Amino acid sequence: MKRSTDRKIVIPYKKLIEFSNEILLNFGVPEKETKIISNSIVHANLMGHHSHGIARLTDYIVRIEKGLAKKHTELTYIKNAPSVALIDANNGWGQVASETAVEVAVEKAKEAGSSWVGVYNSNHYGTSGYWTSKISSNGMIGISMTNTSPVMAPFGSREASLGTNPISIAIPTKSGKPVLLDMATSNQARGKITLAAKTGQIIPDDWAITKDGKRTTDPQEALEGSLLPFGGAKGSGLALMVDILSGVLTNSAFGSDISQFYNGDSPQNLGHIFGAINIDAMLSLPDFLERMEERENQTRNSAPALGFEKVFMPGDIEHSNFQRQERDGIELDDKIFEELLETARRHGVKESFFDEIWLSRDKH
């Protein structure tokens, strides 16, 4: 079949999940785990976070092929108290460990009012907001943090000893779409720079510095150098606190001791932490939702500043992306899609499955 690459690739999200599952199953990942992983990464695409979506799948597989992570995730409880738990991921999938950690956090918060669950000896877990949204869907406030490879220079330094260390908070609303903060502590997530390098784009000059400490618009120079924290000392300080809570506290690797995700030569031993606040333990959920609606309206109905058409709550743009791409299909860069196809070929996915993907694409 002749395959044109002269237009944007758009694939129905369910078909993309199915394709991801097929690749992972052929690679030898257990079926239960493939569903957790695929749902997580395609959700990132749906929300518009393409740097943490299907573009990561090949990278995950390459790390496992190098012996830096495991195909199958075996979880071990190290601590298990009424409102706190610590889980060893045993170098398995970060998404699989996080799925269990979120379930545990919710169940403990139902009984104790709030809970904290840590994970260590883990790997990249996708987007923080995916996990906090799961917690908020249970009528709770969800909090999640993770440390990452040391790719960011602390404020005043040109040496990378901090990760982009994201933090997310999700709060339930009447609409069912949480108010969702999901942010890296860098000016921009490293995954977006990696995506820019893969797709041949330039980056803004406030995202990163070269290894000599100079600002750059070249994504490859940025990847060889260091990212910059948002807000100077404020972003740097927040990144450090996330590293302490998700890394130091959970007995994971932290700071400059974490191996690089790309070109690393040892397991990362990342740490994650998840918090759940049972709203009913403090204020009845219906009353809280009423108050939240008022709080949302105060922001959304405020007068836009010069140059802005409207005012958003955190997560509004992502929810809009989700609705659009759930309806119309997920937009993928051609180079990322070709990389995905090559990974599928390497792991024996049948050509008939490729044809289904291309037919799905051609409908758009």
Residue 5 buriedness (CB in 10 A; 0-12 / 13-18 / 19+): exposed
**Same-domain status, 181 and 259:** yes
| 166, 199, 228 - which closes a domain | 228
How are beta strands 84-88 and 76-80 bridged, if at all? Answer: antiparallel
**Same-domain status, 139 and 51:** no
Q: Residue 305: inside a domain, yes or no?
A: no
Phi and psi of 307, rounded to 5°? 95, -5
pLDDT of 3 above 50: no
pLDDT, tens only, 29-65: 999 999 999 999 999 999 999 989 999 999 999 999 9
pLDDT, tens only, 273-290: 999 999 999 999 999 999
Phi and psi of 249, rounded to 5°? -65, -35
| 228, 252, 286 - which closes a domain | 228
Q: What is the edge-to-edge ordering of all strands in the sheet holding 167-171?
A: 76-80, 84-88, 114-122, 270-278, 140-146, 167-171, 179-183
Q: How many domains does the chain have?
A: 3
Q: Residue 309: inside a domain, yes or no?
A: no
Q: Residue 135: inside a domain, yes or no?
A: yes
Cα 319 to the center of its chain, rounded Å: 15
pLDDT of 7 above 80: no
Using 50, 70 and 90 to split pLDDT, how confident is the model at 213? confident
Q: What is the pLDDT of residue 6?
A: 45
pLDDT, tens only, 76-114: 999 999 999 999 999 999 999 999 999 999 999 999 999
**Same-domain status, 246 and 330:** no
CATH code, domain carrying 204: 3.30.60.50
CATH code, domain carrying 35: 1.10.1530.10
**Same-domain status, 241 and 292:** yes
Share of the chain above pLDDT 90, in %: 82
- Determine the length of the chain: 364
Q: What is the pLDDT of residue 354?
A: 72
pLDDT, tens only, 226-256: 999 999 999 999 999 999 999 999 999 999 9
**Same-domain status, 77 and 170:** yes
Q: Residue 362: inside a domain, yes or no?
A: yes
Q: What is the mean pLDDT of residues 192-208?
A: 89
Q: What is the pLDDT of residue 364?
A: 55
Distance CA 254, CA 17 (A): 32
Q: Which of 161, 177, 179 is nearest to 169 (CA)?
A: 179
Q: Are 354 and 344 in contact (CB under 8 A)?
A: yes
User: Cβ neighbours of residue 310 under 8 Å, at least 6 residues apart?
Assistant: 300, 304
Q: Residue 307: inside a domain, yes or no?
A: no
Buried b (16+ CB within 10 A) or exposed e, 176-196: ebbbbbbbbbbbbbbbbbbbb
Q: What is the mean pLDDT of residues 348-356?
A: 78
CATH code, domain carrying 81: 3.30.1370.60
**Same-domain status, 152 and 296:** yes
**Same-domain status, 246 and 155:** yes
**Same-domain status, 36 and 135:** no
User: Cβ neighbours of residue 184 under 8 Å, at least 6 residues apart?
Assistant: 164, 165, 166, 190, 230
Q: Residue 78: inside a domain, yes or no?
A: yes
The better pLDDT of the pair 294, 362 is held by 294
**Same-domain status, 245 and 146:** yes
Q: Residue 353: inside a domain, yes or no?
A: yes
Using 50, 70 and 90 to split pLDDT, how confident is the model at 270? very high
**Same-domain status, 181 and 198:** no
User: Cβ neighbours of residue 284 under 8 Å, at least 6 residues apart?
Assistant: none
Distance between start and end Cα atoms, the chain: 17
Using 50, 70 and 90 to split pLDDT, how confident is the model at 158? confident
How are beta strands 330-332 and 9-11 bridged, if at all? Answer: antiparallel
How are beta strands 208-209 and 226-227 bridged, if at all? Answer: antiparallel
Domain span at 123: 71-186+230-300
Distance CA 174, CA 179 (A): 10
Phi and psi of 2, rounded to 5°? -75, 130
Q: Of 167-171, 211-215, 299-303, which range is least confident?
A: 211-215
Q: What is the pLDDT of residue 358?
A: 65
The better pLDDT of the pair 95, 358 is held by 95
pLDDT, tens only, 306-316: 999 999 999 99
Q: Are 150 and 163 in contact (CB under 8 A)?
A: yes
Q: What is the pLDDT of residue 132?
A: 98
**Same-domain status, 182 and 255:** yes
**Same-domain status, 138 and 194:** no
* Mean pLDDT estimate for the chain: 93
Q: What is the pLDDT of residue 1?
A: 26
HSE on the CB side for 32, CA within 13 Å?
7
Q: Residue 129: inside a domain, yes or no?
A: yes
Q: Are 54 and 42 in contact (CB under 8 A)?
A: yes
pLDDT of 137 above 70: yes
